[in-house]
Amino acid sequence: MNDKLDRQALQRHLDQLPPMHPERRAAAVPMMQALQIEHGCLDDAAVEEVAHLTGLSVTEIDELATFYSLIYRRPAGRHVLRICDSVCCSLRGADRLLIAAENYSGVPLGKISPDGAFSILPSICLGLCDQAPAALVGDEAVGPLDEASLEALLQRLREED
Amino acid sequence: MEAVLTHHLDINAPLNLQAYRAAGGYRSLNAAFDRKPEEIIETVEAANLRGRGGAGFSCGLKWRLRGADAPRPRYLICNIDESEPGTFKDRHLLYGGPHQIIEAVIVSAYALQAEQAVIFVRGEYAKGGNGLRRALEEAEIAGLVGTNIGGNGFDLQIEVHVSGGRYICGEETAMLNAIEGRRPNPRPKIPRPSVKGLWGYPTTTNNVETLVNVPHILLNGAAWFHDLGVNGGCGTKLFCVSGMVQHPGLFELPCGTSARELIFEHAGGLAEGRTLLGFLPGGASTAFLLPEHLDVPMDFDPVAKAGSRLGTGSIIVLDDTTCPVQVTLNLMRFFARESCGFCTPCRDGLPYLAQILTAIAAGEGQAEDLALLEELSDIIGPQSFCAFAPGAVTPLISSLQGFRKHYESHIATGRCPFDAADRNGA
């Protein structure tokens, strides 16, 4: 078990589980989200802890963790940038943005930039088609972007830390 | 036309409880509590409010079919898992007016006599989900949500669930699994969720745009709702227009407004000198329509008659600098990636289609590939477990029909004819 895990905070998710949910398993996703906000991703110890608290097996929790695109089982950069690659953003230049992002960060999409500042991920439609081509920085929407504004954004994220 | 659903929306500064009430918000609660639940359902059915999430099923009929004597507890789920490419209307509703959503959930739950409601928000809208939670807290403190609401003896608990991601969670039965903490595969269609849904109890799921119409129908009546539409449509519709138009955006207009008006008046038309190649009328999983369909009223039945679906009412526009093979490939890659992987025709079939399209788009396709794409589509759609794969092959089949000569030219010349042009339209 990982000493860093805040068991009390996790237990609160169980305690606060609305009575409409008769089984503890309903708290699995909210717990994983809380752990990720705290630690950046879910390591094996975190998965074991969620399994323990929800009464599910480690395999069942891992099945959920790996199914969901917004739950990470590996560390990510300090900032996560999701660039939409679906149809509307693609029509308005997302393909070029993805190439520019890779060139700027110097690592393939999905990898952490060498300075640890960011991870850049392609994403399904973000519901930002009216700002295409668009992206999310954490939970904040940005767009429309071009290569220059994307590089300026990455530069800013890098300098923020 | 006066905006109904977008009247108070402000994405940057949504109204808090006090301001929303001052603007007339939550008035529909009294209108609801003054009536019997079955009267409300009759009114919603008479208004011909059809599902705004894509299926277009009558909301009132869905509610009535669940049955007034359904066992308890009963659940209402408000679907804000908007992930259909081209669709961003629910984001505006969520970020711009959380109290409008809570009001709609309260009166809809009252009509259904459901004591539990879950508002399911896609994970990419987590910030909007937080805003909704804050609004819910305000409503709970004010006694609008909880026990004995308005002294009327009606109890309602509302939970905001923010998803972990993935398109399939928006499917009604996959969402039930997601809420229960199970892998979000779709469930078998029988028993229906209205009989055995969340935790095995009667569950009614509606898209958020559908639900936010309900308070207005209660306050103004079914006839008023009918009169809002044009060309036979009922109510207003939140139309999204994106892609190769000058001003992509959200437009609340009468249901039944033509695609021509949406694209050329409201979204500013195409860039100078461009012509329309075609458009998707209702998001990524609908069939392409062509310039000859521009005057079709954007309403459920007329769009179906034209060979497509109104879907989410989200128009994605292609102009003559857009390679339709590339666009179709992008759609297929989306669906191949988002398949939940539960059934084989979908999990293995969609990547196969994407692979063939990749070759054609790159000028490496073979003459027999087009027949192969059609044959595979005919197998994959009907043989798969849920509606996802049929939706995935729909734009492909229509693209092969409507843009045939573009496919043939890629294969015949061994290159993409749009490569020379700047298809990104910068």
- Structural domain spans, chain A: 7-67, 79-160
Q: How far A124 CA sits from the closest chain B CA (Å)?
A: 7
Query: Which residues of chain B neighbour A63 with C-beta distances below 8 Å?
Result: 183
Q: Over the Cα atoms of chain A, what is R_g?
A: 18
Domain limit, last residue, from B198, B228, B258:
B228
Q: Determine, yes or no, domain membership for B71.
A: yes
Nearest to A129 among B127, B159, B240 (CB): B240
Non-local CB neighbours of A42 within 8 Å, separated by 6+ positions: A32, A35, A36, A50, A65, A71, A72, A73
Interface contact A68-B164, CB threshold 8 A: yes
Q: Distance between CA atoms of A53 and B279, rounded to whole angstroms?
A: 49
Residues B397 and B263 in one domain: no
Whether pLDDT at B203 is above 70: yes
Q: Does B246 touch chain A (CB under 8 A)?
A: no
Judge whether B423 lies within some domain.
no
Q: Do residues B23 and B169 both lie within one domain? A: yes
Q: Beta B75-80 vs B314-319: how paired, if at all?
A: unpaired
Q: Do B109 and B40 touch, CB atoms closer than 8 A?
A: no
On whether both B176 and B285 belong to a single domain, the answer is no
Query: Cβ–Cβ of B330/A86 closer than 8 Å?
Result: yes
pLDDT, residue A1, reads 44
Tell me, what's the pLDDT at A2?
A: 52
Q: Which of residues 120-149 of B touch A (CB under 8 A)?
A: 122-127
Q: In this structure, are strands A135-137 and A118-123 parallel, antiparallel, or unpaired?
A: unpaired
pLDDT over threshold 50, residue A154: yes
Could you tell me if B153 and B214 lie in one domain?
A: yes
Contact flag B243-A88 (C-beta cutoff 8 Å): yes
pLDDT of amino acid B426: 37
B365 is a domain residue: yes
Whether B280 and B361 share a structural domain: no
Are B85 and A87 within 8 A, CB to CB? yes
What b/e sequence results for A42-77 when a residue is b if at least 16 CB atoms lie within 10 Å of its CB, and e otherwise?
A: bbeebbbbbbebbebeeebbbebbebbbbbbeeebb
CATH of domain A7-67: 1.10.10
In this structure, the number of other CB atoms found within 10 A of the CB of residue A151 comes to: 15
| B311 and B377 fall within a common domain | no
CB contact (8 A) between residue A124 and residue B116 = no
Nearest to B161 by CA among B76, B263, B58: B76
Residue where one domain finishes, among candidates B174, B194, B228:
B228
Mean model confidence pLDDT for chain B: 96
The number of beta carbons lying within 10 Å of the beta carbon of residue B350 is: 26
**What is the pLDDT averaged over residues B18-30?**
97
Question: With an 8 Å Cβ cutoff, is A14 touching chain B?
Answer: no
Check if B425 contacts A (Cβ < 8 Å): yes
Quick one: B315 and B297 in the same domain? yes
ipTM reported for the complex, 2 dp: 0.96
What CATH number corresponds to the domain at position B35? 3.40.50.11540
Angle, helices B404-413/B344-361, rounded to nearest 10 degrees: 60
- What residues 405-424 of chain B have any CB closer than 8 A to a CB of chain A? 424
Mark the binding-site residues of A, compressed into ranges: 84, 89, 125, 129
Q: Count the Cβ atoms, other than its own, within 10 Å of residue A132.
A: 26
Same domain, B155 and B114: yes
**Beta sheet of B314-319, edge-to-edge order:** B249-254, B236-243, B314-319, B276-280
| Domain membership flag for residue B8 | no
Domain that holds residue B146: 17-228
How far does B17 lie from chain A, in Å, by closest CA?
23
A59: which 2 tokens?
């395999």
> Least CB-CB distance to B183: which of A22, A23, A63?
A63
Q: Look at residue B425 and tell me whether its pLDDT is greater than 50.
A: no
**Are B84 and B177 within one domain?**
yes
Query: Would you call B301 exposed, middle or buried from its count of C-beta atoms within 10 A (0-12, 13-18, 19+)?
Result: middle
Domain membership of residue B373 (yes or no) is yes
Task: Give the CATH number of the domain where residue B313 resides.
Answer: 3.10.20.600
pLDDT score of B99 more than 50: yes
Provide the CA B39 distance to its chain's centre, in angstroms: 27
Q: Which amino acid is at B191?
A: P
As for how many domains chain B has, the answer is 3
Tell me which residues of chain B, numbers 69 to 88, contact chain A at a CB-CB cutoff of 8 Å.
Answer: 73, 75, 82-88
- Report which of B317, B351, B318 is spatially closest to residue B332, judged by C-alpha positions: B351
Contact status, residue B219 vs residue B245, Cβ threshold 8 Å:
no
Dist. CA A85–CA A102, nearest whole Å: 14
pTM check: above 0.95: yes
Which of B183, B204, B228 is the last residue before a domain boundary?
B228
What is the DSSP code (8-state) at residue B289?
A: B
B259 and B355, same domain (yes or no): no
| Residues annotated within a binding site of A for [2Fe-2S] cluster | 84, 89, 125, 129
CATH number at residue B344: 1.20.1440.230
Measure Cα distances from B43 to A18, B206, B213, B220 in Å. 32, 17, 12, 10
CA gyration radius, chain B: 22
pLDDT-based confidence at residue A117 (cuts at 50, 70, 90): very high
Q: How far is CA A122 from CA B20, B163, B230, B293, B323, in A?
A: 37, 18, 40, 34, 21
Q: Give residue B135's identity as a one-letter amino acid code.
A: A
A109 touching chain B per CB within 8 A: no
Nearest to B86 among A19, A70, A87 (CB): A87
Residues B21 and B160 both lie in one domain? yes
Question: Homologous superfamily of A79-160 in CATH?
Answer: Glutaredoxin (3.40.30.10)
In chain B, residues with a C-beta closer than 8 Å to the C-beta of A148 are none
Mean pLDDT of B142-166: 95
* Contact criterion met (CB < 8 Å) for A87 and B334: yes
Q: Which residues lie closer than 8 Å to B273 by C-beta, 6 or more apart?
A: none
Question: In a 3-state reduction of DSSP, which class is residue B317?
Answer: strand
pLDDT in tens, B159-175: 999 999 999 999 999 99
Q: Say whether both B303 and B345 belong to one domain.
A: no
d(Cα A28, Cα A43) in Å, to the nearest integer?
15
Tokens linked to B48: 């011909």
B163/A68 Cβ within 8 A: yes
Per-residue pLDDT at A161 exceeds 70: no
Residue A123 touches partner B, C-beta closer than 8 Å: yes
Residue of A nearest to B114 (CA): A20
Q: What is the pLDDT of residues A13-37, one digit of tens each?
A: 888 888 888 899 999 999 999 999 9
